[in-house]
Amino acid sequence: MPRPRATVQKTPAAANWPADTQLVGLTLQLQPYADSTLYPQYTIGLHAWLLDQVRQMNPELSAYLHDGESEKPFTISALQGVEIAPGGSPRLRGDRPYTWTITALSQPVVTWLTDWLRQPPQTIDLRGAPLRILDWGLTNSVHPPTTYEQLFDVAIPPNPAIALSFLSPTSFRRHKHHFPLPVPVNLFHSYLRRWNDFSEVEYDQEDFLDWIDRSVIITRHHLQSVKTVAGKRGSVTGFTGAIEISLSKTALEDSEYVQLFMALGRLAPYCGTGHKTTFGLGQTRLGWSSAETEAPQSTLQDLLAQRIAALTEHFLTQRKRTGGERAMAIAETWATILARRELGESLQDIAEDLGLRYETAKTYAKLARKAAEALP
């Protein structure tokens, strides 16, 4: 096997962003030190690595990003360009680069990124697959530095319309369940929540979403459903593909909401769509993607998601009280631990990913295994 070709590592120039920047993105170029296989939920590792980088420089900001009750002011993608090995595992080759995107949605996070880039790390310590940082993506054309005011102040075109492409599985929460459809109200609810949290101008959510419901027309779409693992526990039923939306003639009478409609479309690539965007879901781009019509290759991530979903449903039916967030959280945690153990992952690694003490994870694994014995 040929040895991976050495690649020159660049030192980033200082981030020369305007002082008032509130939104920006970096697309890092990474290269593995050797051929390696990723574990299915590796985005947990990317998420944890980034928060640890924040913690080392700004513990208060790190705690807010980790535990804050508001919308999360950042997103990350999964690694782009990952191959799928014959057994379904994500695989990296040591002789080729991959990209990873980080976006910031608030000025404190932009400030941290600026400081971080003055003395950036050389390596991302991802479990089982350390990655050399080749380039920090300061010339990111998809997420240039901007402000919420600048997003809003772009002139309205004669026929306002937005095309959005969903590059990674995307889903919403509706009545405590996943809702894998880009219904306009759900889309703009997702974007407006971030806008109201991080911009300096807040809009009435109920009134604007009522206007969206009456005004937005879906002109075309190309969608595909997918079940995947995301976040620390549980599985998600989502969609990928593209959608194009426009406005009715009567909607054009409300110029301020038309302006906000277009601004939120421009916000989408920064904030992502739906939930779990800090674990790689909901990656969104402006424009229509040429999405494939063929079913994607089955991966270990798909199989893990399906197993977690089946176990979660089983554990919920066994509980006397099946409703409520606590019952769902327990069922998803048990299901995630057992499904990952069945794939051969160590309990120590699983506990670390889930933020659990080892003994707690061990107890949950025993309880889950016993409860699963009743499965047909």
**Each residue of 214-235: pLDDT tens digit?**
999 999 999 998 888 777 777 7
Tokens of residue 304, six digits: 């893990």
- Higher pLDDT: 8 or 111? It is 111
Strand partners, 36: 92
Within 8 A by CB and 6+ apart from 41, the residues are 229, 301, 304, 340, 353
Q: What confidence category does residue 164 fall into, taking pLDDT thresholds of 50, 70 and 90?
A: very high
Q: How confident is the model at residue 3 (pLDDT cuts 50, 70, 90)?
A: very low
Strands 36-37 and 131-135: unpaired
* CATH assignment of 148-286, among 3.30.70.1900, 3.10.25.10, 3.40.1350.10, 3.40.50.2300: 3.30.70.1900
Please give the structure tokens belonging to residue 48: 């944890």
Q: So what's the pLDDT on residue 235?
A: 78
Least Cα distance to 191 among 75, 90, 360, 99 occurs for: 75
Alpha helices in 221-357 (DSSP H): 255-271, 300-318, 325-342, 347-354
CATH fold group of domain 24-135 = Alpha-Beta Plaits (3.30.70)
What integer is the mean pLDDT of 60-74?
87
- What residue ranges do the domains of the chain occupy? 24-135, 148-286, 300-372
User: Is a pLDDT exceeding 70 seen at residue 4?
Assistant: no
In a 13 Å sphere around the CA of 208, the CA atoms on its Cβ side amount to 23
pLDDT higher for 329 or 275?
275
Lowest mean pLDDT among 3-17, 89-103, 233-247: 3-17
In CATH, the number for domain 300-372 is 1.10.10
Q: How far apart are CA 171 and CA 266, in angstroms?
A: 19
* Same fold flag, 148-286 and 300-372: no
Q: Find, among 228, 227, 233, the residue nearest to 333 by Cα.
A: 233
The pLDDT, as a whole number, for residue 364 is 84
pLDDT-derived band at 348 (thresholds 50, 70, 90) equals confident
Query: Is the pLDDT reported for residue 361 higher than 70?
Result: yes
pLDDT given at position 2: 37
pLDDT in tens, 125-163: 898 899 999 999 887 778 999 999 999 999 999 899 999
Q: Is residue 295's pLDDT more than 50?
A: no
3-class DSSP state of 220 = strand
- Torsion, Cα 174 176 179 185, to 10 degrees, reads 10
pLDDT over 60 at 7, yes or no:
no
**pLDDT at 312 exceeding the cut of 90:** no
Flag whether pLDDT at 1 surpasses 50: no
Looking at residue 69, its pLDDT comes to 67
- CB-CB contact of 291 with 241 (8 Å): yes
Provide the phi-psi class of 329: left if phi over 0, else alpha when psi is between -120 and 50, else beta: alpha
Report CA 161 to chain centroid distance, whole Å: 25
